[in-house]
Amino acid sequence: MNAKRTAGHRMTILAPEGMLGYGIPPRSMAEGMKRNPDALGVDAGSTDPGPYYLGAGVPFTNRRAFKRDLAMILEAAKTRRIPVLIGSAGGGGGTPHLEWTLEVYREICRERDYHFRTAVIGAEVDRGWLTRQIARGRTSPLDLDTPLTAAEVNRSARIVAQMGFEPFMRALDMDAEVIIAGRAYDPACIGAVPLRAGFDPGLVIHMGKILECGGAAAYPRHGSDSLLGFIEEDAFVVEPPNPDKVCTVASVAAHTLYEKADPYLLHLPGGAIDLTRTTFEQINPRQVRVSGTRFVKAPHYTLKLEGVRRVGYRTLAIAGVRDPILISQIDAYLENIRQRVAETYPDGYRLIFHVYGRDGVMGRLEQVKEIRAHEIGLVIEVVADDPDTSAAVLALARSAGLHVTYPGRKAIAGNLAFPFSPSDLKAGEVYEFNIHHLVVVDDPLELFPIEIVET
Amino acid sequence: MRRTIGDIAAFVTSKNAGPFLLTLDIVFPDRATYERFKALKALDRVTVAGLYGVMAEDVLKIIEFDPAHAVKITMRRAWGSGAVGEGDVYGAQQHVPLMEHAVPWEDA
């Protein structure tokens, strides 16, 4: 990168919030816009809410909240004529997620008579292409020891790749005013504008890492909020536009740890940033200056793949147990239910008891072996290949749970307290992550088609 | 005497680092407390594995991060996030064995 181009220059990016649809505080947005940002960048996705949303092709944010936030951002962008970059649209960043985002976006534009030159960037991965990359030895596991196989690719319900900065920069080259991108490396929506302007990639990416979570790097850390980033030639500064919050060395440095396996080396498409020489400096009570972060280019450009497979259909029931005689023998009681169910349905399903008050939260990691509670919460879960089997097995487990007897039983009318009628809740399709791998590409743009649409 | 890590630290948290890793952060209130904790050398992979009843090789990294006065521990997740039978999709409530771990600590 050409440092001379940025000498004496400064660029301001506003991240209105850390997750599009979680609620932008209007005062933060107004204060942020007073600082004349050069671009608005907002991340809309995550794998954190689990595999369902990518698989089912639905967002994890509420439509009304999402529309409100997006309308606020578009209004600000229109007033100041600055670009808007949205990454991982619709949460999962697949094609249905992009379509959902576009539908809401078009509705806002129609209602408010907004006209933006809009770039839409796809991020779904073609199974045939990926299978060929496996054959060429271009894929490798990430955090798992299992290599990717063609069979696993074919079992996937949906596969996306996290795009880097390059597709966003190309869309800016195409004069896009609004960029709605599928699955993207979270900092890309923040960093594409300053990176394209020639600012140091190590600093841009690190600033993107902090801003993509919005106000999370400011204290007090509560609620969804905004964050400003000011990038210069040899450092960047972060500041919360919310006057009730501050960025401190502790808040910014601690955020660098968040959700990362190793805070000194953060991998990204095409390389990594190295934080071993990074310094965090409090320059006034509300601003932290960060410098020294270096970009390390990788020998091969790799993209992270995310995929999920459907593993069945879930039905569940929630119940409480208050009887101390039953609680004292809960394991035998649950095993009895399992056997009763197996007499009618020998296989073809998974029956799981989540026992809150025993190990419902930590499962096999739980080290407290005895039950200390006076009541326990029971979630009875069935996952089966089809919804009817799932419902039938759950119904039997629930009725057996209510009526099965046990030694010393006094409460012969029923063993479970159900908080709801109906007791049996259909939870729909169940997905699991099955692809979490890297793939080498020759061209950072090759998986991400850019389409210009009119609004 | 002994104090728990939860008593000494400002924050003790757990969270996914991707769907297949769990990362635990201990953030200390100031440089002095952090340096004092580091000097104890109280956390190694075997100790952490013991707290969670897992194998030492499942504890992948223990990293001291000076800029944040923090110690970060990254472990393999027992299950992938959202896997059938798994109980904590975000991995946000797996911090307690670490928080309740007591280390030698004389009050100043």
Please tell me which residue of chain B has the smallest CA distance to A312. B84
Element (H, E) at A384: strand A376-384
Report how many domains make up chain A.
2
Residues A146 and A34 in one domain: yes
**Does the distance separating the beta carbons of B20 and A436 come in below 8 Å?**
yes
Of A250, A311, A352, nearest to B68 by CB-CB distance is A250
Domain range list for chain B? 2-79+88-102
Mean pLDDT over each residue of chain B, to the nearest integer: 95
Q: How confident is the model over B36-63, as pLDDT tens digits?
A: 999 999 999 999 999 999 999 999 999 9
Among chain B, residues having any CB pair with chain A shorter than 8 Å are 11, 15-21, 23, 25, 27, 51-54, 60-61, 63, 65, 67-70, 72, 74, 76, 78-90, 93-94, 96-97
Predicted confidence at residue B86, as pLDDT, reads 93
**Distance in angstroms (rounded) separating the CA atoms of residues A239 and A76:** 19
Tell if the CB–CB gap between A249 and B65 is shorter than 8 Å.
no
Residue type for A447, please? L
CB–CB of A254 and B27 under 8 A? Answer: yes
Mutate to test the interface with B, among A160, A267, A315, A362 (most CBs of B within 10 A): A362
User: Could you give the CA distance from residue A43 to residue A66 in angstroms, rounded to a whole number?
Assistant: 12
**Residue A265 phi/psi, 5° resolution?**
-140, 110
Q: Which amino acid is at A432?
A: E
Query: Is A386 contained in some domain?
Result: yes
Distance in Å, alpha carbon of A336 to nearest chain B alpha carbon: 19
Do the beta carbons of residue A193 and residue A85 sit within 8 Å? yes
How distant is the Cα of B55 from the closest Cα of chain A, in angstroms?
11
Residue of chain A whose Cα is closest to the Cα of B91:
A48
List chain A residues with pLDDT less than 50. 1-3
Confirm if B74 and B54 have CB atoms less than 8 A apart.
no
Instruction: Kindly list the distances between the CA atom of residue A81 and the CA atoms of A36, A118, A264, in Å, as whole numbers in the listed order.
Output: 11, 13, 37
Which residue of B19, B60, B68 is in closest CB contact with A47?
B19
**Whether A346 and A271 share a structural domain:** no
pLDDT tens-digit profile of B82-101? Answer: 999 999 999 999 999 999 99
pLDDT digits (tens, 9 = 90+) for A355-383: 999 999 999 999 998 999 999 999 999 99
Residue A341 and residue A202 share a domain: no
- The reported pLDDT for the residue numbered A421 is 97
Q: Which amino acid is at A252?
A: V
- Give residue A296's domain range: 11-306+435-454
Is A133 part of any domain? yes
Return the pLDDT at A330.
97
Residues A272-287: tens digit of each pLDDT? 999 999 999 999 999 9
Strand partners, A15: A227
Determine the pLDDT at residue A254. Answer: 85
**Secondary structure E strands in A139-258:** 139-141, 156-161, 178-181, 227-231, 236-239
* Dihedral angle, C-alpha A339, A345, A350, A352, nearest 10 °: -40
Taking CA atoms, what residue in B is nearest to A146? B20
**Residue A316 in domain:** no
Indicate the DSSP class of residue A271: E
Q: How far is A414 from chain B (nearest CA, A)?
A: 26
Q: Mind telling me how many Å the CA of A267 is from chain B's nearest CA? A: 12
Task: Write the CATH number of the domain with boundaries B2-79+88-102.
Answer: 3.30.70
> A74 and A27, same structural domain?
yes
Q: Give A-chain residues touching B76 at CB under 8 angstroms.
A: 143
Q: Are A196 and A172 in contact (CB under 8 A)?
A: yes
CA distance B107 to chain A (A): 24
**Residues A57 and A189 placed together within one structural domain of the fold:** yes
Task: Indicate whether A131 and A254 sit together in one domain.
Answer: yes
- Please say whether the beta carbons of A424 and A417 come within 8 A: no
pLDDT of residue A2: 44
